[in-house]
Structure 1
Amino acid sequence: MSTPQASKNLIFLTILLAFILSASFVLAAPAGSLPGPRYFIKTSNPFWQKSLGVRHIFEGGFTSDLSGIQVALVKIFGLEIEPVEELHILPVLPEEVIAETIEKIIENPTAKPAVNISARVSPSDQTPWGIEVIYDNPLIASTSGGNEINVAVLDSGVLKTHADLKNRVKQCKDFTNAKTPIKDGICDDKNGHGTHVSGIILADGGNDKLGIYGVAPEANLLAYKVCGNNGSCWADDIATALRTAADNGSNIINMSLGSDNESFLIKDAIGYVVSKDVLIVAAGGNDGPYPVSIDYPAANKLVVAVGAVDEALLVPDWSSLGINSSTSPFVVEEKDMEFGGPGVKVESTWKNGAYAVLSGTSMSSPHVAGLAAKFWQAGALEGTRAQVTRDLLHQLAKDLWIIGDDNATGFGLPQIK
């Protein structure tokens, strides 16, 4: 039988616990800074969910941003916690930003200030070299394909008002907001990476057909912002976006992001997505020429991993390598690179409404994702369309680099034949 003093102590501890765990106790973070470290808390107890705050709920637990005091306290109470993996937009090498001024586009010095002059900035090439290579046509003037195919781009968001993308945006969601884990209708891209990647896949030249073209300009864009403006991305946000994309009708998902380590949250989400007959394409990484430098999630065998090639179809030193030479030839296994794609000095849409030239496997992956959208095997048996499309890409691949299933480009460069 408890004594009155013991009861008082229990009440005091309960109040103290609630006070410490409450968000009001934690000092506000400086403006613009990231939240405290994020953890996966291995419990489904509603008390802890309410006390700590829930970012996302998963099987066996939930994620939350915890202060140092909160981490210490939950450990005292015997809860198991695990840090959430932080991924990053794969580094790209900016070469130039193509931004002609309106004065150069419209030479009209007598125009009155009150006149609303609308002009657009033009790309240096409407069908950049990567498009010419994928289409195997150096004279191509425009592209086609992807009608009714939904491509989710998990990245830094998108400039949904860009002339070459605005007609393609079907969904727009932000998974990075500190207060609201999923915000519909918002996917602003202040980084530029996501806008560039999206354009490679499905830019449609704009209503005036003076803009740039992606591989599959009739496809629909599901723009899911999973990375902050600084390029960092939490694994739980990515995992939730993957599941959301699968549940919202995506056929293909592109992820031009990565980490040296595999996140169990993302791994589980990938399994769920693939079970929904969705094809996932990811950038292989920019950590070459070191062996076994391929990044996750591309290294997951359920994901199509893409390395980079340049305009001469040579592999740049920085493109990551898989372990293909140590695994069964032409059988995709863990840490294998599956394809090579255009990834050096690639021009595409940019966050300011103009165009930019970037390099990285971040650019290679969307070329393959776009080709998958163009050749999506909708006529295949339901439940097999993603795999049948993947198999077709293997058949379309042109052998590159070292003969056979090599560490840098796997099956080779998929091209339209």
Structure 2
Amino acid sequence: MTERTISRRRALRLAAAGSTGLLVGGQVAAQGGSDDNGPPARIVGTASREAEREARDRAEPVKRVLDFERIGKAVAGRFSDRAAEKLRQRDDVRYVETDGTVRAIHHREGHDGGPGGGGDGGGGGDTSQDLTWGIDRTDADVAHANGDTGNGADIAIIDTGIDSDHPDLEANLGAGKAFVKCRGGSCNTNWDDDNDHGTHCAGIAGAVDNSRGVKGVSTEATLHAVKVLDKRGSGSFSDVAAGIEYTADQGWDVGSLSLGASSGSQTVKDACTYAQGKGVLLVAAAGNDGPCSDCVGYPAAYSEVVAVSSTDCSDSLSGFSSTGPEVELAAPGTDIYSTIPGGYDTFSGTSMACPHVSGAGGQLMANGSSNSQTRDTLGSSAESLGLTSNETGAGLLDVASALGHDSSDDGTGNGPNC
């Protein structure tokens, strides 16, 4: 865990001045290839300085170089077919792959301007706070009542960014970074959310308990926006890998990945291995290809990542949820009410289930658990719903039980949608 040495508000100002930088609607296959900008976008995994140098020389141009230390480096850029073939012939080139597309496609159930209907992030009308059904059902509210609020945890929301001035999030925001440009109407920082998806996930993981709007699983954790998806909810494998690498290099506790694709990437896999070795707990949405079997997407399918499926407020598996042997936990994902830029809204998807687990992981790591210990505890404390392990893994997330508190309060909140 990192120690807070500057205020969150100051971190926002510094980030704005100096930083440049799941799928909820269904799995999206990796996409790549040539376009009007030149040769195909590819990533070259290298195992020596000489291979890295040749990859840099052959790129037209280099997009970025990722350094996973002992695992090796990866050069992302545009490479002609001839250049790619030449690089593949080298023994010290580990792989050459397409820099595929990853998307976050959320399903909006119905816009709500927020408590009181003001549409201003809770700033007008009735400023009462909703206890959302996901927070209640996972007993996160019980943890709060016992003093566990995630204070000291650092949670990276690796997504479309976070609304930098939302009243339910602003107090919990720390430094962030953008790997894609913010191009929306309100880009106060480079990592601001110009899509909605990242802000919604951030509110689930760590909205502050300020007696208005909503509250998250870890109400005093520091949230970090790692913007790897643009205003269309689109990014590349190399963008996502860079966000994971950055999260690990900052020494943060949790990386929350409500994104994915139906095919894997060695570069993203290497980034996950690197982050796990640095002590990061990685949590990802299983995907929304349900009903289906053995259809968990990537990066959730990687062994370094906690794959999260989705349930509804009747404790049934959400009809859209992907399932498979990689699923490790389930969490609420249907009709989840949370923050968006300028207000609140209801989304459904494993993208919404994922940050419940990320917030819980932050709670445990704030109390001194390692990433591996946290992963074990989340699994051993989960509540059985009587569903198969391919559907819900170890069971439904139980935040209070994971923290050693009584978890018999299985309510469904006083907010909308349940």
Shorter-chain TM band: 0.7 to 0.9
- In structure 2, the CA distance between the partners of 1:270 and 1:122, relative to structure 1 (3 Å rule), is farther
- In structure 2, the CA distance between the partners of 1:105 and 1:225, relative to structure 1 (3 Å rule), is closer
- In structure 2, the CA distance between the partners of 1:74 and 1:305, relative to structure 1 (3 Å rule), is same
Alpha-carbon displacement from aligned partner over 1:309-362 (angstroms, at most 9, x marks no partner): 000110122110113xxxxxxxxxxxx2111100000000002x2000000000
1:394 aligns with 2:379: yes
- In structure 2, the CA distance between the partners of 1:184 and 1:74, relative to structure 1 (3 Å rule), is farther
1:62 aligns with 2:75: yes
SS of 2:170 mapped into structure 1: coil
Do the aligned partners of 1:142 and 1:213 also contact (CA within 8 Å) in 2?
Answer: no
Which of these residues, 350, 359, 364, is aligned with residue 340 of structure 2?
350
Extract unaligned runs of 5+ from structure 2.
1-33, 46-50, 67-71, 89-95, 401-406, 408-418
Larger radius of gyration between Structure 1 and Structure 2: 1
**CA apart distance, 1:413:** 0.7
Within a 5 Å distance, the mapping from 1:15-414 to structure 2 comes to 37-41=40-44, 43-45=51-53, 48-49=56-57, 52-58=60-66, 59-64=72-77, 66=78, 71-72=80-81, 74=83, 78-80=86-88, 81-89=96-104, 91-99=105-113, 119-120=123-124, 126-135=130-139, 145-177=149-181, 186-206=190-210, 209-323=211-325, 336-351=326-341, 353-376=342-365, 378-380=367-369, 385-402=370-387, 406-414=389-397
Give, in whole Å, the separation in 1 of the partners of 2:392 and 2:329.
5
**CA apart distance, 1:389:** 1.1
Matched letter for residue 198 of structure 2? G
Do the aligned partners of 1:143 and 1:213 also contact (CA within 8 Å) in 2?
Answer: no
* % identity of equivalent residues: 31
Do the aligned partners of 2:331 and 2:356 also contact (CA within 8 Å) in 1?
Answer: yes
Do the aligned partners of 2:291 and 2:321 also contact (CA within 8 Å) in 1?
Answer: yes
- In structure 2, the CA distance between the partners of 1:122 and 1:249, relative to structure 1 (3 Å rule), is farther
Give, in whole Å, the separation in 2 of the partners of 1:378 and 1:266.
29
Residue 330 of structure 1 aligns with which residue? Answer: none
**CA apart distance, 1:375:** 2.4
In the superposition, the TM-score normalised over structure 2's length comes to: 0.74
Alpha-carbon displacement from aligned partner over 1:354-383 (angstroms, at most 9, x marks no partner): 000000000001011111112226435xxx
Give, in whole Å, the separation in 1 of the partners of 2:174 and 2:324.
34
- In structure 2, the CA distance between the partners of 1:146 and 1:60, relative to structure 1 (3 Å rule), is closer
Do the aligned partners of 1:97 and 1:355 also contact (CA within 8 Å) in 2?
Answer: yes
Give, in whole Å, the separation in 1 of the partners of 2:140 and 2:206.
18
- In structure 2, the CA distance between the partners of 1:135 and 1:321, relative to structure 1 (3 Å rule), is same
Give, in whole Å, the separation in 1 of the partners of 2:115 and 2:353.
30
**CA apart distance, 1:122:** 6.0
Extract unaligned runs of 5+ from structure 1.
1-25, 30-34, 107-117, 324-335
In the superposition, the TM-score normalised over structure 1's length comes to: 0.75
Cα RMSD after superposing both structures: 3.2
Give, in whole Å, the separation in 1 of the partners of 2:126 and 2:147.
17
Q: How many residues align?
A: 344
48-57 or 188-197, which deviates more: 48-57
Give, in whole Å, the separation in 1 of the partners of 2:114 and 2:102.
34
